């Protein structure tokens, strides 16, 4: 019996249930980075809920202050834009583009800046 993740007996790779061919998703390290920022925003009292959507064009992570409202921030991964303005986009509450880029860290920077607080001596 193998304890490897993702490979079926005989070396055949079995797709994740519910994932369709050509569907965009987050890689583990990308999702870990996003969830790290999300967790810190929750701890700071800024966010309370999140949702994810996966389509053939984009993977979207949306963060909410309240579940019933529109998301305060959305992080989109659109691989089709990789060679143009970058596949990562940070959208604000009203759908405005706050940041685009080729690197996730740079796109998350405006959110991380909100977490910084001035410390007095």
Q: What is the model's pLDDT at position 3?
A: 46
> Which three-class secondary structure state does DSSP give residue 36?
helix
Whole-prediction pTM value? 0.76
Q: For 3-26, how does the pLDDT look when each residue is reduced to its tens digit (9 = 90+)?
A: 445 555 566 765 555 556 678 899
Helices 28-43 and 104-115 pack at an angle, to 10 degrees, of: 10
- Domain-embedded: residue 106: yes
Q: Which domain holds residue 53?
A: 28-113
Domain count, the chain: 1
Q: Which two tokens stand for residue 22?
A: 């050509």
- Domain-embedded: residue 83: yes
Q: For 85-118, how does the pLDDT look when each residue is reduced to its tens digit (9 = 90+)?
A: 889 999 998 889 999 999 999 999 999 888 776 4
Rounded to 10 degrees, the C-alpha dihedral 98/30/85/114 comes to 20
Q: Are strands 59-64 and 73-77 parallel, antiparallel or unpaired?
A: antiparallel
- Domain-embedded: residue 82: yes
Q: For 24-82, how does the pLDDT look when each residue is reduced to its tens digit (9 = 90+)?
A: 899 999 999 999 999 999 998 889 999 999 999 999 999 999 877 789 999 999 998 88
């Amino acid at each position: 019996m193998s304890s490897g993740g993702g490979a079926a007996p005989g070396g055949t790779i079995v797709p994740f249930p519910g994932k369709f061919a050509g569907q965009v998703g987050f890689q583990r390290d990308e999702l870990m980075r996003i969830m790290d920022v999300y967790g810190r925003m929750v701890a700071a009292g800024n966010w309370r809920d999140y949702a994810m959507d996966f389509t053939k064009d984009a993977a979207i992570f949306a963060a909410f202050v309240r579940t019933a409202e529109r998301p305060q921030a959305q992080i989109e991964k659109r691989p089709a834009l990789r060679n143009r303005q970058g596949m990562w986009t940070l959208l604000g509450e009203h759908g405005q583009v706050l940041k685009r880029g080729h690197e996730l860290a740079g796109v998350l920077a405006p959110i991380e800046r909100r977490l910084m607080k001035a410390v007095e001596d």
